[in-house]
Amino acid sequence: YPKCSGACLNRIQNVLSLFCAVLTENKVLFHSASFQRLSDACRALESLMFPLKYSYPYIPILPAQLLEVLSSPTPFIIGVHSVFRNDIHELLDVIIADLDGGTIKIPECIHLSQLPEPLLHQTQMALSLVLHPDLETADYAFPPPRTALSHSKMLDKEVRAIFLRLFAQLFQGYRSCLQLIRIHAEPVIHFHKAAFLGQRGLIENDFLTKVLNGMAFAGFVSERGPPFRACDLFDELVAFEVERIKAEEGNPPKMIKHVRELAEQLFKNENPNPHIAFQKVPRPTEGSHLRVHILPFPRINECRVQELLQEGLARSQSAPAATRGDKKCVVPAGPPVVSIMEKGSTVFNSAQRLEVVRNCISFIFENKFLETEKTLPAALRALKGKAARHCLTQELGLHVKQNRAILDHQQFDYIVRMMNCALQDCSSSEEYSIAAALLPLTTAFYRKLAPGVSQFAYTCVQDHPIWTNQQFWETTFYSNVQNQVRSLYLTAKDDNHAVQLRLKVGEHIKVNIKAVFLFTF
C-alpha cells in the first residue's frame, strides 16, 4: 500500500467524511496539481476500507478525453488534474476534495451518513493521538516532554490500524448472523442484516444500513463467510480483541500501544524480508546534470526488445507455479453480537411493552376476558415495535408446545387480531422474520366451528401482501432447511443458537406447508 496521504486534507473530519462517503457508495472526486498526490490520495482512501474491497470504478488519474465518466450514475473514486477545475464544478452529485487546499465540497442534495456514536468520537480521538500527539497535553500547566511523531512509514500503518480497529468494532459478531443455503450444488452464504442491525441496536442508523446493503459488504460476506479458509489479522482482531478495544476507550496510552502493535504487524506483512530491499533503477550521481558532455541515450532496438519479451513469457509459462498456498483453518466465531449503543431508559420502556404483550396473551389463554379487554389496546400499540412482535411469536410458540392450540371463539378472535397487527408492520427491513415465525403458528391455532369442521388462523390473515412476496418464501424455505440440517447434525448441547431461532417452533415446519399456502393464496 502507498503512504496514507490523509495529511493532504489537513483535517481529520475531512478524512472521515470521505471515508463515510466511499462506504455509503457516494461519488468521490479528487483534484490536485500533482499527479503523484492524486494517486496517493486515491490509493490511501481505498486502503482504509480494508477488510472491504472497493468494487466500483477506480481511476486515480482520469485522462482529459474521459471527463464524461464523471457524469456516470455509478459511484466512483476518481482523480483529475486541477486544470479541469472549471469542468468539475458543474457536477451536482459528486463530493469534491481539493488536495491542494485541504477542503471538501459536499453538495446540498447529498445526505452524508456519519459513523454511529460512540465509534465516531473514538475514531476522531485515536486519529488525533496519532497525527497530533501534543494536542492532548497542550493545555497542561506542566506538559510532559514532546512526543515525536512516528516515522512516515509507521505513521501510515498506525492510521490504517485505527480504521482496522473501527471495522472490528463495527462488524463485531457478524459471523453469528451468517446463514448457509444448502439447496444449490455449492452452499450459498447469506447475511441476516435485520438480525445484525437489531442486535446491535442500529435499526435506525443510516450509515450501517447503507454499508450492509453495499457491494463492498456483499463481497466481504462471500469472501469471508466460509467457515474454513485462510485467516488474517482482521479475523483475529474481530474474534479476540474486541473486548480489549472496548476496555481501552478511556485510556489513551493503552489505545496507542495497541494501535502500534497492529501497525507493526501490518508493516511486517508488507515487508516480510526488509533486508533484501534494493534500488531497481540506479540513482544518478550528484552533479550529473551539470556535465558539459552528456552522452546521448542509445536508440533501443524494437525487434530485440520484442524477442526478449517473448523469451521471458515462454520461460514463465513453462516453469511450474511456485505459489505457496495459504494455510486454511476454522475461522473463530468471536464474541456474540451486542448493542453498540448505550442502554438507558429505552431498555426499561421496551421491557414494559414486552410485559404488556405477555400479560395480554396470558389473560387470553386463562379466559380472563375482562383483563384482556383492558390490556389489548396497549398490547396492540406495543406490537408496533419489533421486539414486541418477536415476543408475540415466542409466547404463542410456547403455548403450541404445551398443546394449547385449540381455542374457543373469543380466544381465537383475540389471537387473530394480534397476528394481523404484527403482520401489518412486517417489512423487508426485518427480512420477513416476523411473518416467517408466525407462519407455522397460523397453521397450529384453530377453533372448532362444528363437529368435524375446524377453522385455522391462516384463513383470517390472508389479506397481507407479505404472502405474495416471492422473496419471503425463498428466505423462509432456506431458513427452515438450515434449521433442519442443524437439528440433524448437532445435539441440543452443542447447538447454542437453537433456542434463539424464531423459525423453529415445532417439528411440523415442513416444505409442504409452503405448498399449501401457495395454492391457498
Exposure pattern of 213-228 as b/e (b: 16+ CB <10 Å)? ebebbeebbeebbeee
Of 477, 456, 450, nearest to 520 by C-alpha is: 456
Residue 508 pLDDT level (bands cut at 50, 70, 90) = very low
Residue 520 pLDDT level (bands cut at 50, 70, 90) = very low
Of 54, 8, 53, nearest to 31 by C-alpha is: 8
Q: Does residue 254 form part of some domain?
A: yes
**pLDDT reported for residue 423:** 86
Q: Does residue 271 form part of some domain?
A: no
**Residue 211: pLDDT above 70?**
yes
Q: Does residue 278 form part of some domain?
A: no
**pLDDT reported for residue 343:** 46
> Do 445 and 498 lie in a common domain?
yes
Lowest mean pLDDT among 207-211, 300-304, 318-322: 318-322
Contact 13, 97 (CB under 8 A): no
Question: Helices 252-270 & 119-131, crossing angle to 10 degrees?
Answer: 70
Residue 513 pLDDT level (bands cut at 50, 70, 90) = very low
**Residue 493: pLDDT above 70?**
no
Question: Over pLDDT 90: what percentage of the chain?
Answer: 28
Question: Over pLDDT 70: what percentage of the chain?
Answer: 82
**pLDDT reported for residue 62:** 93
> Do 91 and 128 lie in a common domain?
no
Q: Report the amino acid identity of residue 313.
A: L
Rounded Cα gap, residues 327 and 154, in angstroms = 28
Looking at 264, 285, 313, the residue that finishes a domain is 264
Q: Does residue 315 form part of some domain?
A: no
> Do 385 and 500 lie in a common domain?
yes
> Do 384 and 447 lie in a common domain?
yes
Question: Helices 433-442 & 470-489, crossing angle to 10 degrees?
Answer: 80
User: Span 343-364, mean pLDDT?
Assistant: 73
Q: Does residue 497 form part of some domain?
A: yes
Q: Report the amino acid identity of residue 448.
A: K
User: Span 260-265, mean pLDDT?
Assistant: 91
227 vs 319, higher pLDDT: 227
Residue 500 pLDDT level (bands cut at 50, 70, 90) = very low
**Residue 509: pLDDT above 50?**
no
Q: Does residue 432 form part of some domain?
A: yes
**Residue 74: pLDDT above 90?**
yes
Rounded Cα gap, residues 27 and 57, in angstroms = 10
Contact 426, 438 (CB under 8 A): no
**pLDDT reported for residue 277:** 61
**pLDDT reported for residue 185:** 74
Looking up residue 99, the CATH number of its domain turns out to be 3.40.50.11500
Residue 55 pLDDT level (bands cut at 50, 70, 90) = very high
> Do 157 and 75 lie in a common domain?
no
Contact 509, 447 (CB under 8 A): no
Residue 58's DSSP bridge partners are 77
> Do 234 and 372 lie in a common domain?
no
> Do 84 and 123 lie in a common domain?
no
> Do 409 and 486 lie in a common domain?
yes
Q: Helix, strand or coil for residue 248?
A: coil
**pLDDT reported for residue 515:** 38
Number of domains in the chain: 3
> Do 62 and 125 lie in a common domain?
no
311 vs 497, higher pLDDT: 311
Lowest mean pLDDT among 52-61, 316-325, 390-399: 316-325
Looking at 229, 264, 299, the residue that finishes a domain is 264
Q: Dihedral of CA 384/388/394/397: which sign?
A: negative
Of 433, 445, 371, nearest to 405 by C-alpha is: 445
pLDDT digits (tens, 9 = 90+) for 116-174: 988 999 999 999 888 887 776 667 776 666 665 666 778 889 999 999 999 999 998 89
> Do 123 and 58 lie in a common domain?
no
This prediction's pTM: 0.72
Residue 511 pLDDT level (bands cut at 50, 70, 90) = very low
Say how many Å lie between the first and final Cα of the chain, rounded. Answer: 56
> Do 494 and 390 lie in a common domain?
yes
For residue 418, give the C-alpha cell.
394480534
Q: Does residue 1 form part of some domain?
A: no
Question: Quick one: which H or E segment has residue 104?
Answer: strand 103-105
Q: What is the largest CA-CA distance in the chain?
A: 115
**Residue 9: pLDDT above 80?**
no
230 vs 324, higher pLDDT: 230
User: Span 94-112, mean pLDDT?
Assistant: 90
Looking at 264, 297, 316, the residue that finishes a domain is 264
- Give the domain range for residue 177: 119-136+150-264
pLDDT digits (tens, 9 = 90+) for 396-415: 989 888 888 888 889 999 99
Question: Quick one: which H or E segment has residue 98?
Answer: strand 94-98
Q: Dihedral of CA 86/92/98/102: which sign?
A: positive
Mean of per-residue pLDDT scores for the chain:
81
- How many CB atoms are located within 10 Å of the residue 91 CB? 15
Residue 388 pLDDT level (bands cut at 50, 70, 90) = confident
User: Span 452-476, mean pLDDT?
Assistant: 85
pLDDT digits (tens, 9 = 90+) for 14-46: 999 999 999 999 999 999 999 999 999 999 999
- 446's CB contacts (< 8 A; 6+ apart) are 405, 406, 407, 412, 454, 455, 456, 457
**pLDDT reported for residue 486:** 76
Lowest mean pLDDT among 150-159, 238-247, 439-448: 150-159
User: Span 493-519, mean pLDDT?
Assistant: 40
**Residue 476: pLDDT above 50?**
yes
**Residue 317: pLDDT above 60?**
yes
**Residue 428: pLDDT above 80?**
no
- How many CB atoms are located within 10 Å of the residue 44 CB? 23
Residue 407's DSSP bridge partners are 447
pLDDT digits (tens, 9 = 90+) for 270-312: 877 766 666 667 777 777 777 777 777 788 899 999 999 999 8
Q: Does residue 112 form part of some domain?
A: no
**pLDDT reported for residue 97:** 93
Radius of gyration of the chain (CA): 30
> Do 72 and 205 lie in a common domain?
no
